[in-house]
Amino acid sequence: MYDRLKGFRDFYPGEMSARREVVDTVETAAARYGFREIGTPHLERTQMYVDKSGEEIVEELYAFEDKGGREVTLTPELTPTVARMVVAKQQALSKPIKWVSTRPFWRYEQVQQGRFREFYQTNADIFGSSEPEADAEILAFCADALTDLGLTADDFEFRVSHRDILGGLLRSFDADVDVADAVRAVDKSEKVEREEYLGLLSDAGLSYDQAGEFADLIDRGDLDEIAEFGGDNVEAAVENLRNVLAAADDFGAGEFCEVSLSTARGLDYYTGVVFECFDSTGDVSRATFGGGRYDDLIESFGGQPTPAVGVGIGGATLQLLCQRAGVWPEEELATDYYLLTVGDTRAVASDIARDLRAAGNVVEADVSDRSFGAQMSYADSVNADTVVIVGERDLENGEVTVKDMASGDQTTVPVDDFPGDRDAPTYEDYE
């Protein structure tokens, strides 16, 4: 026996069926907004991530030297890859560029609730628009995806912030502040005690009193107060955040949004509005997913200046939210018909199966030469709605038996009338 690797998961058919339903729901919501599906490689050059995040990132990667001597890694995220793709065909792509994909990623990190070493994400990005409507459309798509899954405003909330408000406020203090370090401290603020948080802000350059004033200011989240305190340093950012929230309201996502300036997103490439989705009840302790604006990344990859905004929806944390809210799909198999054969009836059973499949039904038939009882047990195990018994005696009378598995009721039907002109005939059609 071989053990499964830590941080990697097996998905058996029942759970995979539920996962497929959720992914299809999310991707269908994205398609309604005009996001086009892309496919991306699972292997990239390690240097692409080092250039973006520094040498220390290698410790978190599944990185290795390939047979050609190239330093490569399993992809830990999608943003650098799509940035590379945009740069490669930037002049030929119609703007705005709206892409979506669902695929696995890999990070060598500590395994915990909702976090694995192999994980799955749906990513949606808009390139080429700096307008508030682009940010708001990302929020609206996310809201539609969640409500399509059966979640409501009582189940989740979008905590919306702005990196330039945080940076502007920090620069308003009479101190030599390392803004990037201070923003990373804000990102950790809800995971550490206040004294440790203030210590991190002090390490970034604020005095202890300034750290407390800054922390209180963003905790209150009063945009009027912030605009007055920060003045020119935050004026444009506050206006942009208000415009995004107004557009989100028009797009139907406003009821899910709240200003939360302690939401910072730790990655340095974020430049404007950022947001995270949380379980409203607090039962799921970590963010379900997050995203934001990253206007400088395409240029840093060698492309023309291109504003961008996007979101990454994690499959594991979304599952936790749906399960907590009671809307995770049933993890069970679904089969419309099972064709049970008795005797030398394969040819007739196969004709019926082909007709039912052509109409879009899920149809199974015996491929193991099992007994009547074994076939019935198997049909029950795959949750067949209807069993069609094709037996030699019935065929002598030109009939088959149609059995409803839920009720146990059954009846005989002329073989030429099953399925006949019906796409999905059931026992009730022949009572």
Q: What is the pLDDT of residues 45-77, one digit of tens each?
A: 999 999 888 898 999 999 999 999 999 999 999
The sheet that has 63-65: what strands, in order across it?
A: 43-45, 71-74, 63-65
Report pLDDT digits (tens) over 339-350.
999 999 999 999
Residues forming a β-bridge with 156: 279
**Known binding-site positions for L-histidine:** 77-79, 107, 121, 125, 265, 269-270
pLDDT of residue 213: 93
For the four alpha carbons of 165, 56, 103 and 43, in that order, the dihedral sign comes to positive
**Known binding-site positions:** 77-79, 107, 121, 125, 265, 269-270
Could you tell me which residues come within 8 angstroms of residue 166 by beta carbon, excluding any fewer than 6 positions away? 179, 182, 183, 186, 218, 261, 264
Could you tell me which residues come within 8 angstroms of residue 395 by beta carbon, excluding any fewer than 6 positions away? 345, 348, 415
Torsion on CA atoms 152, 153, 154, 159, rounded to nearest 10? 130
**Could you give the C-alpha distances from 278 to 138, 187, 193, 317, in angstroms and in order?**
16, 14, 20, 10
Separation between Cα atoms, residue 2 and residue 242, nearest integer Å: 55
| Omega cis (within 30) before 132 | no
Torsion on CA atoms 131, 136, 138, 144, rounded to nearest 10? -150
Separation between Cα atoms, residue 174 and residue 145, nearest integer Å: 44
For the four alpha carbons of 342, 344, 349 and 350, in that order, the dihedral sign comes to positive
Residue where the block lists tokens 């064709």? 339
pLDDT of residue 285: 83
Of all residues in the chain, what percent are helix, strand and coil, respectively (each to 5)? Answer: 40, 20, 35
Do residues 276 and 287 lie in contact, with contact meaning Cβ atoms separated by under 8 Å? yes
Tokens representing residue 406 in the block: 């839920």
In 112-234, alpha helices (H): 132-148, 163-171, 179-187, 194-203, 208-220, 223-230
pTM comes to 0.91
Confidence of residue 264 (pLDDT cuts 50, 70, 90): confident
Do residues 215 and 194 lie in contact, with contact meaning Cβ atoms separated by under 8 Å? yes
* CA 394 from centre of chain: 50
pLDDT of residue 29: 98
Report the 10 Å Cβ neighbour count for 152.
13
Of the candidates 179, 180, 177, 197, the one whose C-alpha atom is nearest the C-alpha of residue 188 is 197
Do residues 235 and 227 lie in contact, with contact meaning Cβ atoms separated by under 8 Å? yes
Separation between Cα atoms, residue 43 and residue 66, nearest integer Å: 10
pLDDT of residue 321: 96
Do residues 199 and 210 lie in contact, with contact meaning Cβ atoms separated by under 8 Å? no
**Domains defined for the chain, CATH in brackets:** 13-40+75-325 (3.30.930.10), 335-429 (3.40.50.800)
pLDDT of residue 54: 83
Phi-psi region of 252 (alpha: psi -120 to 50; beta: other; left: phi over 0): left
180: pLDDT strictly greater than 90: no
Q: Determine the residue type at 330.
A: E
pLDDT of residue 51: 86
The vertex-137 CA angle with 133 and 143, nearest 5°, equals 145
Mean pLDDT of 142-169: 96
Of the two residues 136 and 282, the one the predictor is more confident about is 136
Q: How many residues does the chain have?
A: 431
Confidence of residue 188 (pLDDT cuts 50, 70, 90): confident
Separation between Cα atoms, residue 350 and residue 334, nearest integer Å: 20
pLDDT of residue 75: 97
Averaged pLDDT score across all residues of the chain: 94
Do residues 63 and 71 lie in contact, with contact meaning Cβ atoms separated by under 8 Å? yes
Report pLDDT digits (tens) over 373-405.
999 999 999 999 999 999 999 999 999 999 999
pLDDT of residue 154: 96
Confidence of residue 112 (pLDDT cuts 50, 70, 90): confident
171: pLDDT strictly greater than 70: yes
Of the candidates 123, 145, 174, 117, the one whose C-alpha atom is nearest the C-alpha of residue 252 is 145
Do residues 98 and 126 lie in contact, with contact meaning Cβ atoms separated by under 8 Å? yes
Report pLDDT digits (tens) over 113-130.
888 999 999 999 999 999
Tokens representing residue 134 in the block: 């682009």
Tokens representing residue 310 in the block: 């996007």
Could you tell me which residues come within 8 angstroms of residue 330 by beta carbon, excluding any fewer than 6 positions away? 18
Of the listed ranges 235-244, 262-271, 417-426, the least confidently predicted one is 262-271
Separation between Cα atoms, residue 288 and residue 265, nearest integer Å: 13
DSSP label of 423: S
Confidence of residue 266 (pLDDT cuts 50, 70, 90): low
